[in-house]
A and B are shown apart, each in its own frame.
Chain A
Amino acid sequence: MIAVGERINGMFNDVKGAIADKDKKVIQDLAKKQTECGATYLDVNVGTAAADQHATMAWLVETIQETCDTPLCLDSQKPDVIAAGLKAADTSNGILLNSSPLNKKSDEDILDKYLDMAESAGPQGKLITLTMDKNGVPQDIDTRVAIAAEIVEKAMDRGFAADRLFIDSIVLPVKVPDAQQQPTNILAAIGQILYLSDPPPHLMVGLSNLSQGTTERSLINRTFLAMAVSHGLDGAIVDVLDEKLMNVLATAELLMNKQLYSDSYLKVYSGGSK
């Protein structure tokens, strides 16, 4: 499982404060802790509060890289903010860009821009794409799969290998009215996207969104994670500091025969291969 640690995100108050005060220690501690807990990549998102998003992205990248060499997952809906992070990043261990929809009303070519940047980072440059287009986030299974198919086709036409591509089927908060059908739709979509190419693209979710506003956040997250792993999910943006969640992840992968059993399997589980 490719576990992307979600904590270095300006939406969290501690990170927001650290960005405002240029307090490196908070960021570096989070980077180290998440690495120890098994993060394959560290998500880097400047949030909405930063005055200068480009400079903040570059500062976060440099700050993290001063303390650990875990590959980064540059997270922004604005290509130029990603570009600023990419310029500052050491991509020799790999890098993940997060994320692009198929297209946007305001920018038909956004996917190409993200693919260009992922390619420019070398063979280890990878990209998360969303099953979303100019019409927004689809609710049903078929549209999700159709968008994913277009994304895979576009990438492969450009010679961008499917295994450098992550498809995020977009998890919506389960608490939102009428959204309770979404988790099963996502599982069904994942099961189909898996067959779009061989090797398949990586299948990814931003997990924590699922439990927004609920009273049992960790429980909901980890239960869905186990279900999704059983359908072929192999990547997730998660709270790697949530030990129970990481234990469920290790166990789900074990039961799917993706990890070799040993009595101490929980002790040595880490996100695994990039």
Chain B
Amino acid sequence: MAVPKIADSYAGSVSRVVIGATSDSGGTRTSTVTVGGATNIVYGSTEQTGEKPVIAIDVLDTAPADWPEHLVEPYKDVLDDPAAWAKKAVEEFGADIICLKFDGIHPDQGDKDADHAVKVTKAVLAAVGVPLILWGCGYDEKDNAIMPKVSEAAKGENCLIGTVTEGNYKSLAAIALADGHNLITEAPLDINIGKQVNILVSDMGFPLERIVTFQSTGALGYGIEYSYSIQERQRLATLGGDKMMAMPSISDVGSEAWRAKEAKSTDVPGWGDAADRGPAWEASTAVCLLQSGIDIIRMRHPKAIETVKNCINKLS
């Protein structure tokens, strides 16, 4: 029996956000990415699905100290060189976007300064042509001091920069607006705070159609159901006409999935080969969240990325 079509018409739809700027629009990217645009529940019908979800591969500004061995393996020759890392992620693993994550500026993870962050940003921009996500360390004081400089270094490239939260949004929203970037609004698995951050940012004059929401991510086995149901509610609010929720959304699958002991443990014989188990955990998390309506998935392991790309191509 054929799968019935469930096309329907709703009052609202997910906005479309373009990330990256080519030379025509004042940037140096060789391609741009458009996300969003769904006009129905997830995968309701081909016409209503909107843009295909995309994969952003994580590149860290400093070599990670705590990555599990099976995650280090595919990147072992580039972990000290963000530019080479980004190049590999694009050319070998098919990244649609590079997510440059500034873990190294966190006081507990290297406490690197603005010069370092700006240098890394420029090097990655020069190394790859895909659009960039510029993602702070999550420590407000350092993010407020350094991310504006990162933003300025990528001015005109129409990056996606973040994150801003209910308690800390003013400086980054203002600088993203000035430098022509898109913005990620973050909420701690709380749909009401998610909406509130969007209102606060929009109140500063930041256009709603340049926002991507990050509702926080729970990995498989570690709260994925919360992420799933929040994404579901966001989509339903969007379709119901709530403009403050009608943005594309991003999920941080890579780092969350690889924090799970089921992904990273190598000493549990009964759990099967860790070289397959870790990527499987990451891919399962990603595929599940794809079906909740995620538009951009941050990922890490090339095997997981390949699986998820296949899945996206089959679903869309």
Contact = CB atoms under 8 A, between A and B. Distances in A.
Interface in B98-131: none
A268 B199 contact: yes
Contact of B244 (A258, A262, A274): A262
B299 to A, nearest CB: 29
B12 A263 contact: no
Contacts of B245: 260
Contact of A260 (B11, B203, B237): B237
Interface in A245-265: 258-265
Contact of A273 (B192, B195, B240): B240
A96 to B, nearest CB: 15
A267 interface: yes
Contacts of B191: 260
Nearest to B239: A273
Interface residues of B, number: 18
Contacts of B11: 272-274
Contacts of A268: 199, 243-244
Nearest to B191: A260
Interface in B231-252: 233, 237, 240-245
A264 B233 CA distance: 18
A264 to B, nearest CB: 5
Given A272-B241, A273-B241, A260 B12 contact: no
B196 A263 contact: yes
Interface residues of A, number: 13
Interface string B191-223: 111011001100100000000000000000000
A268 B244 CA distance: 8
A265 B199 CA distance: 9
A262 B245 CA distance: 11
Contacts of B240: 258, 273
Contact of B233 (A258, A260, A263, A267): A260
Contact of A264 (B196, B241, B243): B196
A160 B206 CA distance: 41
A6 B200 CA distance: 31
Contacts of B203: 264, 267
Contacts of B200: 264
Identify which of A260, A263, A267, A272 gathers the most chain B CB atoms within 10 Å of its CB.
Answer: A260
A273 B195 CA distance: 18
Contacts of A267: 199, 203
A42 B141 CA distance: 48
Which 8 residue pairs spanning A and B have beta carbons closest together?
A273-B11, A262-B195, A273-B241, A262-B196, A264-B199, A261-B192, A260-B237, A263-B196
Given A260-B237, A261-B195, 8 more contacts: A261-B192, A262-B195, A262-B199, A263-B196, A264-B200, A273-B240, A273-B241, A274-B11
Interface of B: 11-12, 191-193, 195-196, 199-200, 203, 233, 237, 240-245
Interface of A: 258-265, 267-268, 272-274
8 contacts: A258-B240, A259-B242, A260-B191, A260-B192, A261-B192, A268-B243, A268-B244, A273-B240
